[in-house]
Chain A
Amino acid sequence: MNILETRGIYFDYKGLEVLFDISLQVEKGERHAVIGPNGAGKTTLFNVIIGGLIPSRGKVIFKEHDITHATPHELFRHGIGRSFQLTSTFARQTAFQNIRSVVLSRRGIRFNMWRRVDNLGDITNETDEILKKLNLFNERNFPASALSYGKNRSLEFGMAIASDPDLIMLDEPTAGMSRDETHDAVNLIRNLSEGKTMVIIEHDMDVVFSLADRITVLHHGEILATGAPEDIKNNQQVRDAYLGETEV
C-alpha cells in the first residue's frame, strides 16, 4: 500500500521550471531515498511534499489525504515528522527540553496552563527513553547550542522521530558531517527507522546505499529511474547521468 504519493507534480520558480511530472510512490514500511546531482530538484521536491511549496500542477497524497496545501502543524498531526537540512533545534533549550516539546505535542498537551511541565512524570520518562535511544542521555541537560555538530544532528533527527510518526522525512541528515560522524549517524538512523516509512534526500552515495530499500533518481527535474539499490547501481542511464561521475 502506498502511504505517500505524488501525482504528476510540476513546479516552477517564476517561470524557471524545476520539476516535471514527478510521480513518486512510497510504500508503507520502506526506506525510500531520493538522489540526484546538484540542481536535480531534490530539495524542491522535498519542499513541495512538506515544505510549504505549492506545485503548479499535481497533488501530494498522504494516507489518502490530499496534503498539497496542508500547513506544517497539519502535516505533523497527519503523522509526518521531518528534519531540516540546516540544524533547526531550539538552541537555548536543553536536549531534554527539545525532545520534550515533541512528546508534549504528540500527546496533545499544547495549551495546558495549570500543571508544571517538570512535574509531568510520564512525559519526562518518555523523553528520557527517546534520549537514551539517540545516545543523548549523557547530554540531557546541555543546551543544544553547546552540543557538538554530530550530537546536534542526532537531536535534529530525534525531533523528527520523537513523535513516532507514520512517515519520517529527512533532508540530507548527514550534511556537513565528518566520515566518522556520518558512519554513526547512518547506524543511528538505520536502527531507529527499522520498520518505519522514511523518505530521505541525500547526495552521499554511501549513506543512500546503506540506508535505502528503494531509490528514486532525479535528473534535471525528472525521474530517471526508480528501483532497488542493486538495480539503480546497474542502470546504465543512471550511471551516465550521475553515478559515473562519482565512481561507486
Chain B
Amino acid sequence: MSGKLKLTIYWLIGLIIVIILPHVIGIVYTNVLVTFMMDAVFALSINLLLGFTGLLSFGHAMFFGIGAYAAALSLTHIQGFPLIGVIFISAISALLLACIVAPLLARVTGTAFAMLTLAFGQLLYVICLKFREITGGEDGIAGYDTPPIHLGFTNVDITDPTNFYYFAFVVLGLLAFFMWWLVKTPFGSVMISIRDNAQRVEYLGYRVKHSKALVLIISGTVTGIVGGVYALFHNLVSTDGVLTIFVSFYPLMGAYIGGIASFFGPIFGAGLLHVFDELTSRYTERVDLVNGLIFILVVMYAPYGAVGLWWSIKAWLFKSKLQKA
C-alpha cells in the first residue's frame, strides 16, 4: 500500500512541476518544451514499430505531414473550425493514409519495409510539392487562425505560449499514455513476439500481416495527431517543414539515442537531442553534423541507447557489489 502511495506522491510532484514549469523558465524555453514533447511522442510512435514490432520506418513524415496539412487546410478553408475538429481530422487523415499503405507494407519486413516507407514518404512529399494550388508548395500554408479551447463558461486562447504548452501536454500526454498502455495489453505482447520471431507467431495462430498492419495504422494515426499539434503550434505548414526525410529521421534518431529497447527511451532520447541542439548551436551552426556523429557513436557503441547504457551500468554495479559481499 505504501508503495502505491509513494507512486501517487511522485506523480503529483511531477504534475506540479509540469504545471509551474512554464512560469519559471520563460516563453522561449516553454516553446522548446512543446517542441520536445512533440518530438518525444513522434519518437514513441516510431518506436512502437521499431522497438516493439521490429519494423524500421523511414517514412513516418508522411503521417506527420498529412496530419499537419489536414489541420492547416481545414483551418484555412472552414470558418470557425473547432480545436477538437483539428485533432480529429489530423487523426482521420493519417488513419486513412495508413489504411492505404498498410496492406502493402505489412507484407514486407526489414530493409524492404524501410525502403517502401521511404518511397511512400517521398512520394507524398513530391505530390505536395507539386500541388501548389492546394498545399502552397514550398511556401506552404500560413496565417490561419488558431481556434481557442471551448470550456463552456470560458474560452482559452492557445496562441498564448503557456496555454499552448498545457494544451500540448494534455493531448500528447494522452497519446503517450495510450501507447504505454498498448504495449502492456495482449496485443502488445503479440507485437513483441513478432519482433522476436515472426514465423513462430504465425505458427501460433496469429495473423502476422494483420497485426503488423494494425500497429502501423495505430502508429501512423498517433503521428498524424502530433502533426496536427505541430500545425497549431507553428501556424505554418510547408513541405520542407513536415514532409522531408529529415522529419522522419529526427525522431528516429531520438528513439535510437534514447534506447529502442525500452518504452520511455525515445522520450529520453528526444530530450537529449534537444539538449545537444541547444548546446552545440551556441558554438557552431553545424548542429546536424554533431547530431550525426552522436548517432553514429550510439549505433556503434550503445546499440540500446542511453537507457541501455544505464542498464549496463546498473548490471555492472550490481555485479561488483556481489563480488564484494
Contact = CB atoms under 8 A, between A and B. Distances in A.
A90 B214 contact: no
Interface in A101-139: 101-102, 104-106, 109-118, 120
B200 A159 contact: yes
A88 B186 contact: no
A75 B185 contact: no
A72 interface: yes
Nearest to A169: B203
Interface stretch (B32-40, B110-118, B191-199, B310-318): B191-199
Nearest to A51: B203
Contact of A91 (B185, B187, B196): B196
Interface stretch (B10-18, B153-161, B204-212, B265-273): B204-212
Contacts of A76: 203-205
B186 A72 contact: no
Contact of A101 (B185, B189, B214): B189
A71 B211 CA distance: 16
A82 interface: yes
B201 interface: yes
A77 interface: yes
A163 interface: yes
A152 interface: no
A73 interface: yes
B286 interface: no
Contacts of B139: none
A159 B197 contact: no
A65 interface: no
Interface residues of B, number: 25
B23 interface: no
Contacts of A101: 189-190, 193, 201, 204
B189 A113 contact: no
Given A88-B197, A88-B200, A111-B214, A105 B206 contact: yes
B188 interface: yes
B189 A72 contact: no
A115 B185 contact: yes
Contacts of A109: 186
A183 interface: no
Nearest to A115: B185
A74 to B, nearest CB: 9
B203 A82 contact: yes
Interface residues on A, range: 20 to 34
Nearest to A83: B203
B202 interface: yes
Given A73-B205, A105-B205, A112 B200 contact: no
A59 interface: no
B77 interface: no
A57 interface: no
Given A77-B205, A116-B184, A110 B190 contact: yes
Contacts of A100: 189
A89 B184 contact: no
Given A101-B190, A106-B205, A118 B184 contact: yes
A214 B208 CA distance: 36
Contacts of A91: 196-197
A97 interface: yes
Given A73-B206, A111-B214, A163-B205, A117 B189 contact: yes
A23 interface: no
B186 A110 contact: yes
A103 to B, nearest CB: 10
Nearest to A78: B205
B186 A112 contact: yes
Contact of B206 (A89, A90, A110): A110
A90 to B, nearest CB: 4
B325 to A, nearest CB: 22
Given A92-B196, A93-B192, A113 B204 contact: no
A93 B196 contact: yes
B193 A75 contact: no
Contacts of A75: 203
A114 B182 CA distance: 8
Contact of A117 (B185, B197, B207, B211): B185
A113 B182 contact: yes
A125 to B, nearest CB: 16
A163 B204 contact: yes
A47 B182 CA distance: 35
Contacts of B182: 113
Given A72-B203, A84-B200, A105-B204, 4 more contacts: A101-B204, A105-B206, A110-B211, A117-B189
* Pairs A-B, 6 closest by C-beta atoms: A76-B205, A72-B202, A90-B196, A105-B205, A112-B186, A72-B203
Interface of B: 181-182, 184-190, 192-193, 196-197, 199-208, 211, 214
30 contacts: A72-B202, A72-B203, A73-B202, A73-B206, A75-B203, A84-B200, A89-B197, A90-B196, A92-B192, A93-B193, A93-B196, A97-B189, A101-B201, A102-B204, A104-B186, A104-B190, A105-B204, A109-B186, A110-B205, A110-B206, A111-B186, A112-B185, A113-B188, A115-B185, A116-B184, A117-B184, A117-B188, A159-B200, A163-B204, A163-B205
